[in-house]
A = this chain, B = another copy of it.
């Protein structure tokens, strides 16, 4: 008899729990799949954008996730206009795709001083560069990094829905919503 390698995929409750296990692992293990999700946003002209980000915090009880960014990055401009994001993770070992829908708050200044204090010195160079990220430069290395709390923003994602797909011998897909207390609903995959 073959042991099911992913028994958690067969019930809504355990599938949902597994998604959070995956997310929390991403915060603590830099080699875990959820360490580097893809964050999708919408530009001010209504077009999609996607980029890899680093997951910095995951709070299952609150259903929230944190990402750190430079305040001058395009995603901050995009999220100011449309504070909605999609976050995608593919956990190849678990054969599990996470597709999250979230409302995003942009925290800056005194609201993030405590978080900034815990950002390692070597990581702070990601927040503050001249010229700002995305500006044209004449040579590839014509920029300087100068860490600056004033350039540091925390994107706090309040997860409102999760669409989970498990690719097993039989595919399973379910959607979980905050407004439904994450009870979950099977969907055709």
**Which A residues have a C-beta under 8 Å from some C-beta of B?**
10, 36, 38, 40-42, 46-52, 82, 84-88, 90, 97, 99, 101, 129-143, 170, 172-174, 185-189
A170 contacts across to B, CB distance below 8 A: 140-141
- Of B46, B140, B186, which one neighbours A139 at CB under 8 angstroms? B186
* Cβ–Cβ contact A90 & B186, under 8 A: no
Partner of A88, one of B51, B134, B189: B51
Chain B residues, Cβ within 8 Å of A88: 38, 50-52
Within the oligomer, what is the number of copies of this chain? 2
Contact assessment for A140 and B90 in the assembled complex, using a CB-CB cutoff below 8 Å: no
Could you name 14 residue pairs across A and B whose Cβ atoms are closer than 8 Å?
Answer: A40-B48, A42-B42, A48-B49, A49-B101, A51-B97, A129-B189, A133-B187, A133-B189, A134-B187, A135-B188, A136-B185, A137-B186, A140-B170, A143-B189
**Given A86-B47, A86-B50, A188 contacting B137 (CB threshold 8 A):** yes
Do A140 and B41 contact each other (CB < 8 Å), given the known contacts A46-B82, A90-B36?
no
The distance in angstroms between the C-alpha atoms of A186 and B136, with both chains bound, is 6
A49 and B97 in contact, given A142-B186, A186-B142, A188-B131 (Cβ under 8 angstroms): no
Q: A50, B46: Cβ atoms under 8 Å?
A: no
Residues of B within 8 A of A42 (CB): 42, 46-48
